[in-house]
């Protein structure tokens, strides 16, 4: 057991985790992982462990990563770690926050209760908190911190896209699009979206002059790209120039990315919340400030 604080991660998040460890000036160690032929995982932590362990684990591929995270947390406790801070820039299982049809599992609540058994603090970025107001509702731990990527995104836009108009695809996006627009000192528009299925959405653009207007789409995440593809079609019909899109979490597959580009969104930019090749906007400063506030 060492007295210091250490940051650890699996290989999948190593680059972002090391950036965060550097920003905090703390040690970084990688968690070893072996996958058996049937898909089962073997996880090994390098000993000795500190009293306070920061585990960086963004939760895309959630069904695998949550199991491996639990294996790591439980092992750390058994080896004497007193405090575990989970940094999960992308937090999975946040969509299903109510029983929409009888018998549906309310995953946000169930996974929140499960992970809360293993961690003392959680720091995440732009989680899907649309009907549930606070992360603390389902994460009953010492610190359940929900950060916004609006500042790094706004600064990125200010530097590279001066004079652009930001567009959010639905009313929920106004909370972050308006802040990013004020940081980037540009206009913004908010569309209206109705979702009919995983890939099927209907979008209505707000009344505005779109002809030759430079538009940058901004959202919290790309999942299938259905939202972007639909909005891009409407913007092109109105004569807008689509510069690209900027999102906090880019979860889309290569095939979906090709479909988004073919639909007229020339580039996808995201934060490094996930290890996607569109990641250009580092979150290390945002995350390190939040960690410094609680240690
Ligand atoms: C919706 O609530 C979110 O803010 C995103 O607009 C949505 O998750 C994007 O999903 P997709 O890329 O599948 O349209």
Q: Whose CA is nearest to atom 10 of ligand 1?
A: 223
* CA pair distance 191, 119, nearest whole angstrom: 38
- Ligand 1 contact via 272 beta carbon (within 6 Å): no
Residue 261 reports pLDDT greater than 60 = yes
- Ligand 1 contact via 174 beta carbon (within 6 Å): no
Which of the four pLDDT bands, split at 50, 70 and 90, describes residue 2?
Answer: low
* CA pair distance 129, 54, nearest whole angstrom: 24
Ligand 1 centre distance from Cα of residue 217 (Å): 12
- Ligand 1 contact via 222 beta carbon (within 6 Å): yes
* CA pair distance 143, 140, nearest whole angstrom: 8
CB 87 within 8 A of CB 125: no
Ligand 1 centre distance from Cα of residue 193 (Å): 10
Model confidence pLDDT, tens digit, residues 151-203: 999 999 999 999 999 999 999 999 999 999 999 999 999 999 999 998 899 99
- Ligand 1 contact via 230 beta carbon (within 6 Å): no
Ligand 1 centre distance from Cα of residue 225 (Å): 7
- Cis? peptide before 48, omega within 30° of 0: yes
The DSSP secondary structure of 81-95, one letter per residue, reads --EEEEE-SS--S-S
Model confidence pLDDT, tens digit, residues 51-81: 999 999 999 999 999 999 999 999 999 999 9
Q: Determine the atom of ligand 1 nearest the C-alpha atom of 229.
A: 14
* CA pair distance 126, 145, nearest whole angstrom: 10
- Ligand 1 contact via 97 beta carbon (within 6 Å): no
Q: How many residues does the chain have?
A: 295
Model confidence pLDDT, tens digit, residues 37-49: 999 999 999 999 9
Q: What is the mean pLDDT of the chain?
A: 96
- pTM for this one? 0.95
Phi, psi (degrees; rounded to nearest 5) at 116: -60, -25
Phi, psi (degrees; rounded to nearest 5) at 242: -90, 120
């Amino acid at each position: 057991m060492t007295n210091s604080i250490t940051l650890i991660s699996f290989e999948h998040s190593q680059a972002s985790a090391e950036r965060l460890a550097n920003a905090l000036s703390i040690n970084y160690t990688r968690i070893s992982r072996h996958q058996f032929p049937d898909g089962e995982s073997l996880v090994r932590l390098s000993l000795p462990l500190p009293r306070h362990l920061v585990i960086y684990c963004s939760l895309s591929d959630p069904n695998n990563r949550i199991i491996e995270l639990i294996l790591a947390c439980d092992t750390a406790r058994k080896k004497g770690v007193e405090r575990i801070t989970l940094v999960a820039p992308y937090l999975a299982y946040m969509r299903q926050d109510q029983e929409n049809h009888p018998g549906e599992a309310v995953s946000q609540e169930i996974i929140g209760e499960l992970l809360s058994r293993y961690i003392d603090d959680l720091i995440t970025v732009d989680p899907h908190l649309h009907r549930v107001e606070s992360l603390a509702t389902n994460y009953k731990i010492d610190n359940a911190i929900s950060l916004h990527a609006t500042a790094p995104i706004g600064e990125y836009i200010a530097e590279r896209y001066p004079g652009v108009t930001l567009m959010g695809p639905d009313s929920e996006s106004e909370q972050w699009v308006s802040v990013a627009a004020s940081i980037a000192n540009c206009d913004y528009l908010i569309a209206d979206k109705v979702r009919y299925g995983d890939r099927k959405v209907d979008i209505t653009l707000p009344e505005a002059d779109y002809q030759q207007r430079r538009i940058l789409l901004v959202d919290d995440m790309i999942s299938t790209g259905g939202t972007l593809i639909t909005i891009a079609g409407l913007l092109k019909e109105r004569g807008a120039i689509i510069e690209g899109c900027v999102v906090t979490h880019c979860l889309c597959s290569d095939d979906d990315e090709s479909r988004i580009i073919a639909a007229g969104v020339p580039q996808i930019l995201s934060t490094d919340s996930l290890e996607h090749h569109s990641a250009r906007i580092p979150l290390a400063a945002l995350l390190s400030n939040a960690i410094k506030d609680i240690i």
